[in-house]
Structure 1
Amino acid sequence: MWTATLWGLAAGSSLLVGALLGLYAPLHKRLVALIMALGAGVLISSVTFELLDEAFNRGGFGAVATGLVLGALAFFLGDLAVNRAGGLHRKRSTGQQEGGQASAIVLGTLMDGIPESVAIGVSLLAGGTLSWEFLAAVFLSNIPESLSASVGLKRAGHRPAHILGLWAAIAAASGLASGLGYAVLGSAGPGLIAGIQAFAAGAILTMLSSTMLPEAYEEGGAAIGLATTVGFLAAFTLSHL
């Protein structure tokens, strides 16, 4: 459990890296968008070839299909509720968070990262080994997410100390989610574990397609497609070396 928690914290720590870059070394919004797209491509590849392949080998098509649909539906409904509560622009870099509710922004950002953290914990259950490709994908995708959101929060009037405290709390919650995922599912059968992995994959894919990629395209234009493909290819190559 503690190993899973530490790896979850390691993946979540990149949120602080992104926040520091956004607050004290702000990058051009187009570059941030390209990094975001690159991270999305890496994450899509890792979800496909790490999470879903492993889930299929454990539980078969039924577990994968059921978990994937339920995960997508759960994120969709949660995201809809958070958006209506004031967290719609939680990842934007242009200050739209000014009109949003702080609690909704925090909840929405936390919801974005929990599926990834749970997947890290669950991936340790089978043979006690960690998918380095998936961990790297989560780490990389977190940086542009918190970078962009931190720039927006600062422009909306939030203090840097408050913003860094927010990301530190979310990183800690990510580690806790990873550890709890390992502890709670430690005695679960392969079918249930496969379903949980697919559930996390569905939530991640829905998050990418509904938040990260649209916002990246809005800031970066057509080049976002190329950056996403490069990220996908990089993760695919790494997983097959």
Structure 2
Amino acid sequence: MGTALLYGLGTAIPLVIGAAIGLRTTLPKPLLASLMAFGAGTMIAAVSNELFEPAFVQAGAFTAGVALFLGAIVYVSANHLLERRVGASAVGWALMLGTVLDGVPENTALGVSLGSAGGLVLLVAIAVGNVPEAIGGSALLHRQRNVATGRVFLLWVLTGLVLVAVTVAGRVLSDHLGATPISTVQAFAGGATIAVLADSLMPEAYREGGWWVGIATAAGFLVAFLLR
């Protein structure tokens, strides 16, 4: 339980730091894009090594594959609904809600992975990806939607606490589930994460950073791969 709490905090603290940075300063767009691309590279390695591969080995191609596609379908559907409800005029809210939408399957998988002494690569991937999301979301909420600084910061703190709770819940869940259900959760989270990368993180990084983000993505993948 203590390890799950620490890992959960490891994903939440970058959110709080990112929110503080976004409220106090404006970082260059290429730098933010590079952070997003680096995070995307780490997530690619995490999905391959810590989510889908263990599920594939344990549960087999059919179960892992179905769970993978379900994860992607659920994320894409929820994200589409969010965009329709919130709209382009409230990008800051969309980023914050999107962080929760991304984080629930990712942090659940993180908690579940701790039961098999894994999770380090996934922790790094989630933490790196959370920073630019929080920077961008907090800045947009404060400057474009005129939400008070204290309220914006509190919202991101609450978002971080949700992710901590989800990580701990995933760890508790792993103690009461068999190997196949755990593998299904991992593959489902992997599918959702792939959809996050394809729909949001990588397109946004390329739009803001251009050609350089390909190198940053490769760097993130290498770092995560070496942490296995």
| Shorter-chain TM-score above 0.5 | yes
Q: Is the 8 A contact 1:37 1:227 kept in 2?
A: yes
- Residues 1:11 and 2:11 aligned together: yes
Corresponding position of 1:222: 211
- Alignment of 1:183 onto 2:176: no
- For 1:122, which of 112, 129, 142 is the aligned residue? 112
Task: Confirm or deny that 1:131 pairs with 2:119.
Answer: yes
In structure 1, stretches of 5+ residues that fail to align are 90-95
Instruction: Give distance in 2, aligned partners of 1:210 and 1:222.
Output: 18
Q: Which residue of 2 aligns with 1:92?
A: none
Residues 86-101 of structure 1 correspond to what in structure 2 (within 5 A)? 86=86, 88=87, 96-97=89-90
Partner deviation per Cα, 1:11-44 (whole Å, 9 max, x = no partner): 1211011111222232111111111111111111
Matched ranges for 1:1-241 at <5 A: 1-86=1-86, 88=87, 96-97=89-90, 102=93, 106-126=96-116, 129-156=117-144, 157-239=146-228
Between structures 1 and 2, the one with greater helix share = 2
Q: Which amino acid aligns with 2:164?
A: G
Instruction: Measure, in 2, the Cα distance between the counterparts of 1:183 and 1:154.
Output: 36
Task: Give the percent of matched residue pairs that are identical in Structure 1 and Structure 2.
Answer: 36
Please tell me the residue identity of whatever aligns with 2:108.
V
Deviation at 1:78, TM superposition (A): 0.6
Q: State the alpha-carbon separation in 2 of the partners of residues 105 and 206 from structure 1.
A: 15
Q: Report the number of matched residues.
A: 227
Q: Which stretches in structure 2 are left out of the alignment for 5+ residues?
A: none
Aligned partner letter, 1:19: A
Q: Comparing 192-201 with 9-18, which one deviates more in the overlay?
A: 9-18
Task: Provide TM-score, normalisation by structure 1.
Answer: 0.87
Per-residue deviation at 1:201? 0.7
Letter in 2 for 1:21: I
Q: Secondary structure at the match of 1:221?
A: helix
Q: Cα offset for 1:212?
A: 1.1
Cα 1:236–1:26, aligned 2, differ >3 Å: closer, same or farther?
A: same
Question: Shift in Å at residue 219 of structure 1?
Answer: 1.0
Give the TM-score taking structure 2 as reference length.
0.92
Q: Please give the alpha-carbon distance, in whole angstroms, between the structure 1 residues aligned to 2:152 and 2:197.
A: 23
